[in-house]
Amino acid sequence: MSEAIIVTGAAGFIASHIVDRLLAEGHTVTGIDNFLLGRRENLVEPLQDSRFTLIEADLANADEAASVFAAVQQRQPVTQVWHMAANSDISAGIADANVDLRNTFLTTYNTLEAMKRHGIRRLAFASSSAIYGDLPVALTETTGPLFPISNYGAMKLASEAIISAAVESHLERAWLFRFPNVIGHRSTHSVIHDFIRKLRANPRELEVLGDGNQQKNYLHVRDLVAAMFSIVELGQDKLNWFNIGNRDAGATVRFIAESVIEAMQLAARIRYPGGAKG
């Protein structure tokens, strides 16, 4: 059945793929983005679809969030929000904690308040495996304690907490997706991007922080989106939370560095400063 759905951060890497999927399923979609990091070119095809509307707005501003949701709800009653808006520049959040306070937590808080005001009762939320912090074990949904090591992870964890409270107050159902490292079309940042930039600056040598043995789980955006839609379809508890990732152990930084050099057809040597962290 066709629904009216809001996607926040709609012009971002992952959210734009969600917009594509929702439109393909026949829904009417309103995308909201402040374009600090989102790109209009990610929405070229949706913008040609009469069922898609794009609104430029800053959801970190409570008044602006309330106004936008009121306008959308007046046009057609919204049944569900996919809240993807957040700061995705981790280094910017490290340099200035206000970046994640505003763009990761306050966007969530203000979205929940607007949903409460307008009776929108279902929320799908992009969380992160960064909420777990630096743990030497395989992550499960019950892994703890949760001590994030980045402002981004801390504000994602705070967002999960406020959503949990909202489920007891006014939400009918919420789905929390804890993302791994995501790669694929429209991505704007990752270790792959970093290595490419370094090699363009110096094609003879690639400095890789750490010892190259750091290992993480990576998932293609198509598989991530498929997992999220399956969770929304099958997760029927009031609060549903899932880690999303591959079954394998992931890829080492050494493997990624060697693969990028090979793909760029370079003969660069790799230099490892040492240490266990990158």
pLDDT in tens, 250-264: 889 999 999 999 999
Instruction: Choose, from 109, 132, 152, 218, the residue flagged as catalytic.
Output: 152
Query: How many domains is the chain built from?
Result: 2
Query: What letter would DSSP give residue 210?
Result: B
In this structure, are 173 and 222 located in the same domain?
A: yes
Domain annotation covers residue 87 = yes
Domain annotation covers residue 195 = yes
In this structure, are 160 and 30 located in the same domain?
A: yes
CATH assignment of the domain containing 236: 3.40.50.720
**Which domain covers residue 203, as residue numbers?**
191-214+251-271
State yes or no: pLDDT of 278 exceeds 70: no
State yes or no: pLDDT of 107 exceeds 90: yes
CATH assignment of the domain containing 260: 3.90.25.10
Average pLDDT, the chain: 93
In this structure, are 150 and 255 located in the same domain?
A: no
Which position has the higher pLDDT, 136 or 17? 17
Domain annotation covers residue 67 = yes
Which position has the higher pLDDT, 178 or 1? 178
In this structure, are 263 and 165 located in the same domain?
A: no
Domain annotation covers residue 40 = yes
pLDDT digits (tens, 9 = 90+) for 212-261: 888 888 899 999 999 999 999 999 999 999 999 888 878 899 999 999 99
pLDDT digits (tens, 9 = 90+) for 22-55: 999 999 999 999 999 899 999 999 999 999 999 9
Arithmetic mean of pLDDT, 165-178: 97
State yes or no: pLDDT of 115 exceeds 90: yes
In this structure, are 26 and 153 located in the same domain?
A: yes
Interatomic CA distance for residues 229 and 100, integer angstroms:
26
Arithmetic mean of pLDDT, 91-112: 90
Domain annotation covers residue 277 = no
In this structure, are 261 and 141 located in the same domain?
A: no
In this structure, are 42 and 155 located in the same domain?
A: yes
Arithmetic mean of pLDDT, 102-106: 96
Query: What letter would DSSP give residue 268?
Result: P
In this structure, are 116 and 68 located in the same domain?
A: yes
Kindly provide the b/e burial profile for residues 129-168, where b requires at least 16 CB atoms within 10 angstroms of the residue's own CB: bbbbbeeeeeeeeeeeeeebebbbbbbbbbbbeebbebbe
How many CA atoms lie less than 13 Å away from 126 in the CB half-sphere?
A: 25
Structure confidence at residue 90 (pLDDT): 73
pLDDT digits (tens, 9 = 90+) for 67-76: 999 999 999 9
Domain annotation covers residue 276 = no
In this structure, are 146 and 206 located in the same domain?
A: no
Q: Is 132 a catalytic residue?
A: no
**Type and span of the H or E element at 156:** helix 151-169
In this structure, are 132 and 156 located in the same domain?
A: yes
Domain annotation covers residue 278 = no
Q: Which residue has the tokens 């991007």?
A: 193
In this structure, are 25 and 38 located in the same domain?
A: yes
Query: What letter would DSSP give residue 52?
Result: E
In this structure, are 87 and 65 located in the same domain?
A: yes
Arithmetic mean of pLDDT, 141-167: 95
Domain annotation covers residue 102 = yes
